[in-house]
Amino acid sequence: MREQDKTRAILDAIKDLHTNETFERALGRIVRNRRMSYEDYMDIIAEIRELANKKKIDLVEAARRIVKD
């Protein structure tokens, strides 16, 4: 998976987050729509969860920070 694909998927998941939808579900929907693999989803969400746990922040904020870097 290219870094650009990962970044675009994260940005789209943040932007297209539906009311009462978890970030994981939004990201999964975006990954499926982009025809990315389940492994791609797992790699992305693992990185986001790791940062969220480390910094004690929610997944959306962790995703935003990953995209900034």
Q: Which amino acid is at 68?
A: K
Let me know how long the chain is.
Answer: 69
As a whole number of angstroms, the distance between CA 32 and CA 68 comes to: 23
Tokens 């746990």 identify what position? 53
Residue 30 is part of which domain span?
A: 3-68
Q: What is the pTM of this model?
A: 0.92
8-55 tens-digit pLDDT = 999 999 999 999 999 999 999 999 999 999 999 999 999 999 999 999
Residue 10 neighbours by CB under 8 Å, 6+ apart = 27, 44, 48, 63, 66, 67
User: Total domain count for the chain?
Assistant: 1
What is the structure's pLDDT at 69? 80
